[in-house]
Amino acid sequence: MLKWTGLSGLVILIDQLTKWQAERALDLHIPVSVIPSFNLTLVYNTGAAFSFLSDAGGWQRWFFSLLALAVCIFLLTWLARLDSSEKWTAIGLSLVLGGALGNLIDRLLYGHVIDFIQWYYQDYYWPTFNIADSAITVGASVLMIHGLFFNRPRSSEAGNQG
């Protein structure tokens, strides 16, 4: 099922291209309104999700990089061991893997993750994010939905045939 790493590569490509374009077209912390409740805003995140530990002094760059690397190795191992019938699990894992690698590239090259997508309602702003974050969210959602609603345990199927 490693053939699905092509999807991870596509996520990385789109993520890095959009971040490159955001850096070229946007000024740091200056929102550009696209439609009501949606801005493009260039932000650098030195922390993790929701800027967790962003003011920790620098050590978090290497901590989150090592954590992302460990997660990527785990995801690749899981993907390699999947049965060919587990297509939705492979898609979910590949999306999460591509997103994790996209943000890892930023962290290693620049010391921060480049974010630029900003949703808001009135004075309430969702934390700014990027394509890699979106892929991680969609991939994790696919894994959860498939696991909860569509994935039947093999042992119960065998037990019901008895």
Mean pLDDT by 10 residues, the chain (162 residues): 92 98 97 96 79 57 82 95 94 97 94 94 94 97 92 58 50
**pLDDT score of 45:** 87
- Classify residue 79: in a domain, yes or no: yes
* Active-site residue list: 115, 133
Asked whether residue 162 is domain-assigned, the answer is no
Instruction: Tell me whether residue 160 is in a domain.
Output: no
d(CA 49, CA 115): 11
| CB crowding 28-48: b at 16 or more within 10 Å, else e | eeebeeeeeeebbbbbbbbbb
Cα–Cα distance, 64 to 111 (Å, whole number):
10
Over the Cα atoms of the chain, what is R_g? 18
DSSP 152: -
> CA-to-CA distance for 114 and 110, rounded, in angstroms?
9
Both structure tokens of 146: 């498939």
Asked if the structure places residue 158 within a domain, the reply is no
- At residue 111, the pLDDT reads 87
- Total structural domains within the chain: 1
Q: Identify whether 159 is part of a domain.
A: no
| pLDDT of the residue at 84 | 92
How far is Cα 115 from Cα 120, in angstroms, rounded to an integer? 15
What is the span of the domain harbouring residue 116?
Answer: 2-151
